[in-house]
């Protein structure tokens, strides 16, 4: 049984744990000055007794003691290891750990998320080096890494790197590879970038679609702008069996929709129907996916869309695909309750407000026309957010849409901002 002895050093009481190993040899270790009272020292002695007993008998260590071993600091654990009581802690290097972390998640997250993980991994290794021990990275060094990013990156990009670094090291702490997360106190900031937000009106996107080379390209653009699908992660997963023509619904498969629910159901919007029919008409016999021709990893859908836009005589906008999806959510939020909109788009009210929704010229037109008319309804006879005329609606419908728009933008405090998933070369 382990015991505790005391000694005086520089006016302070220090504690030593003493025991005999399996060969009856006397062993001891001196506790650090952090152990300042007899009660804590006795607690360590009891656990040392349990470890000695388990080692001698070959039995499994008590779970509570095993948990304690995982939680104690490196200093005490190293002393226990030097005394032969436990095995030395595994020291993971930064490169090895990040590689294993990312590899383990390739089947769980979207390919674009893996691309983001790899980008942050590269920034960490560039600063700390691949052989660096995880335990060697301190809070001050983590802060220095953050400061180094400002030399070449925008604040939005830096925010993403910091959030992912926190994620990496939170997992390392959970796996007991480190005692604390050195990145936890870093201020990440917002990943929203208002300057890259642009509402793409229907006239613009319809003009671009006219210059698409075939039915599949036209469908790709329509799925993003009128269906609100992520491209390519959702558009390229869409199968013909996902289209329920009878009930006018579409099943959208996506790992981003909800945890443990990798799909959502959206309406077969009238704007989408003809594009789907056109693509189905030219689809090869037995085709599984709605988009077959552009599934190759070498297909750069962003570059392809940019060429179509330029061919139409238009100026390419920021975040080519993402702003199409955001524009659709902005339209829907003006007509339906926000919980319905986010269910269809596959995000949350908070995310929608931060990264998707925008204020359009159409909103200003509705507001100013309503005030000028001095009538009880504040909507002009249009449902087009870009301010263009569309089919008239009756007064009752106008009032209903106006109420829904107010719920969508005021009750949830939805302020339009830019930013969605990053561009990609393929699925």
pLDDT in tens, 213-239: 999 999 999 999 999 999 998 999 999
User: How would residue 193 be classed by pLDDT, with cut points 50, 70 and 90?
Assistant: low
Beta strands 3-9 and 249-258, pairing class: unpaired
Q: Tokens 């330029």, residue?
A: 310
Sign of CA dihedral 38, 40, 41, 46: positive
pLDDT tops 80 at residue 24: yes
pLDDT digits (tens, 9 = 90+) for 322-332: 899 899 998 99
Model pLDDT, residue 189: 66
* Residue 229, token pair as written in the block: 């699908």
User: How would residue 182 be classed by pLDDT, with cut points 50, 70 and 90?
Assistant: very high
Angle (CA) 153 156 162, round 5°: 80
Q: Tokens 């940019």, residue?
A: 306
Q: Averaging pLDDT over each range in 132-136, 357-361, 392-396, 415-419, which range is the top one?
A: 132-136
Angle (CA) 294 345 195, round 5°: 85
User: How would residue 405 be classed by pLDDT, with cut points 50, 70 and 90?
Assistant: very low
Model pLDDT, residue 426: 42
Longest dimension (CA), the chain: 98
What percentage of the chain carries pLDDT values higher than 90? 42
CA 400/CA 344 separation, integer angstroms: 20
What is the average pLDDT across 137-142? 92
- The answer to whether 382 and 390 are in contact (CB under 8 A) is yes
Mention every residue, 6+ apart, whose C-beta is less than 8 A from residue 394. none
User: How would residue 353 be classed by pLDDT, with cut points 50, 70 and 90?
Assistant: low
Model pLDDT, residue 299: 77
What is the average pLDDT across 56-73? 85
Q: What is the mean pLDDT of the chain?
A: 81
Q: From the CA atom positions of the chain, what is the Rg in Å?
A: 30
Distances (CA, A) of 388 to 204, 365, 366, 384, 393: 12, 10, 11, 6, 14
User: How would residue 203 be classed by pLDDT, with cut points 50, 70 and 90?
Assistant: very high
Complete edge-to-edge strand list for the sheet that includes strand 249-258: 243-244, 249-258, 261-267
pLDDT tops 50 at residue 389: no
pLDDT tops 70 at residue 396: no
Model pLDDT, residue 190: 61
Model pLDDT, residue 112: 82
Model pLDDT, residue 122: 96
pLDDT tops 90 at residue 393: no
Q: Averaging pLDDT over each range in 88-97, 121-130, 193-202, 251-260, which range is the top one?
A: 121-130
pLDDT tops 70 at residue 79: yes
Complete edge-to-edge strand list for the sheet that includes strand 12-20: 3-9, 12-20, 26-30
361: DSSP letter:
H
H or E segment to which residue 124 belongs: helix 111-128
What percentage of the chain carries pLDDT values higher than 70? 81
- The answer to whether 134 and 177 are in contact (CB under 8 A) is yes
Name which of 75, 72, 74, 55 is nearest 64 in CA terms. Answer: 72
User: How would residue 301 be classed by pLDDT, with cut points 50, 70 and 90?
Assistant: very high
Model pLDDT, residue 406: 30
CA 58/CA 69 separation, integer angstroms: 18
User: How would residue 196 be classed by pLDDT, with cut points 50, 70 and 90?
Assistant: low
Model pLDDT, residue 358: 67
């Amino acid at each position: 049984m382990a015991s505790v002895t005391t000694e005086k050093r520089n006016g302070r009481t220090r504690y030593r744990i003493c025991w005999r190993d399996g060969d009856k040899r006397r062993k001891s270790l001196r506790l650090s000055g952090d152990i300042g009272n007899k009660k804590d020292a006795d607690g360590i002695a009891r656990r040392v007794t349990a470890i000695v007993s388990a080692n001698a008998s070959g039995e499994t260590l008590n779970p509570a003691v095993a948990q304690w071993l995982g939680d104690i600091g490196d200093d005490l654990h190293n002393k226990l290891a030097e005394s032969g009581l436990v095995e030395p802690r595994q020291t993971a290097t930064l490169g090895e750990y990040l590689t294993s972390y990312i590899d383990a998640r390739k089947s769980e997250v979207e390919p674009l998320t893996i691309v983001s993980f790899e980008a942050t991994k590269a920034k960490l290794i560039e600063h700390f080096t691949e052989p660096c021990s995880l335990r060697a990275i301190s809070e001050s060094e983590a802060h220095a890494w953050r400061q180094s990013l400002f030399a070449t990156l925008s604040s939005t990009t830096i925010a993403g790197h910091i959030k992912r670094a926190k994620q990496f090291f939170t997992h390392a702490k959970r796996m007991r590879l480190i005692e604390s997360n050195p990145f936890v106190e870093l201020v990440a900031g917002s990943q929203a970038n208002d300057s890259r937000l642009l509402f793409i009106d229907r006239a613009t996107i319809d003009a671009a679609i006219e210059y698409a080379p075939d039915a599949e390209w036209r469908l790709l653009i329509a799925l993003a702008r009128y269906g609100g699908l992520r491209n390519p992660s959702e558009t390229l997963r869409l199968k013909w069996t996902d289209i329920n023509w009878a009930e006018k619904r579409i099943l959208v498969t996506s790992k981003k929709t909800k945890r443990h629910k990798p799909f959502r159901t959206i309406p077969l919007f009238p704007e989408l129907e003809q594009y789907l029919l056109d693509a189905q008409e030219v689809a090869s016999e037995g085709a599984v996916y709605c988009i077959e021709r552009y599934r190759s990893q070498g297909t750069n859908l962003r570059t392809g869309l940019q060429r179509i836009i330029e061919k139409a005589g238009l100026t390419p906008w920021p975040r080519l695909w993402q702003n199409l999806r955001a524009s659709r959510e902005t339209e829907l939020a003006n007509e339906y309750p926000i919980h319905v909109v986010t269910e269809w788009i596959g995000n949350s009210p908070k995310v929608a407000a931060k990264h998707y929704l925008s204020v359009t010229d159409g909103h200003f037109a509705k507001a100013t026309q309503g005030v000028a008319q001095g009538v009880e309804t504040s909507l002009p006879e249009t449902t087009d957010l870009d301010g263009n005329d569309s089919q008239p609606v009756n007064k009752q419908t106008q009032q209903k849409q106006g109420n829904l728009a107010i719920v969508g933008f005021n009750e949830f405090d939805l302020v339009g901002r830019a930013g969605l998933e990053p561009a990609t070369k393929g699925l």
